[in-house]
A = this chain, B = another copy of it.
Amino acid sequence: MPTEPTKQLETFPNPHPERDYQIHIRIPEFTCLCPKTGQPDFAELDLVYVPDRACVELKSLKLYVWSYRNEGAFHEAVTNRILSDLVAATAPRYMVLTARFNVRGGLYTHVIAHHGQRPPGLPEHGL
């Protein structure tokens, strides 16, 4: 039963909205295309968020990540766009997205973007 890549993110209701708690999802298999050369780029993503009313559904997130496979995308722009899409879908209290791109030209690039203010009193969570 093949499923299709999609930019449409699904959510489910946060089962514990009375608490500020963190969900961390590691996504090791992000790949897109370099807009300059057309060649594949690869990255590992780390999403950490404090849900409000909605949590992102895992299978939907996987299909969303897959949707970049044949698209051209710059490192800085695509990290911010994914963050914005996830914010639009889930309206979280707080969200951080880290993208660790594979080495290119001998240089390793990571981009770290966030939305909202970290709620006070949250335990730290080492990425």
Contacts and interface: CB of A to CB of B under 8 A. Distances in A.
Given A2-B38, A96-B123, A106-B29, A112 B22 contact: yes
The number of times this chain is found in the oligomer is 10
A110 interface: yes
Contacts of A113: 16, 19, 21-22
A8 interface: no
Given A15-B80, A77-B15, A102 B108 contact: no
Interface in A19-51: 19, 21-29, 31, 37-40, 42, 51
A125 B114 CA distance: 12
Contact of A114 (B21, B24, B111, B117): B21
Contacts of A107: 25-27, 58, 61-62
B112 A121 contact: no
Interface residues of A, number: 60
B125 A121 contact: no
A5 B23 CA distance: 28
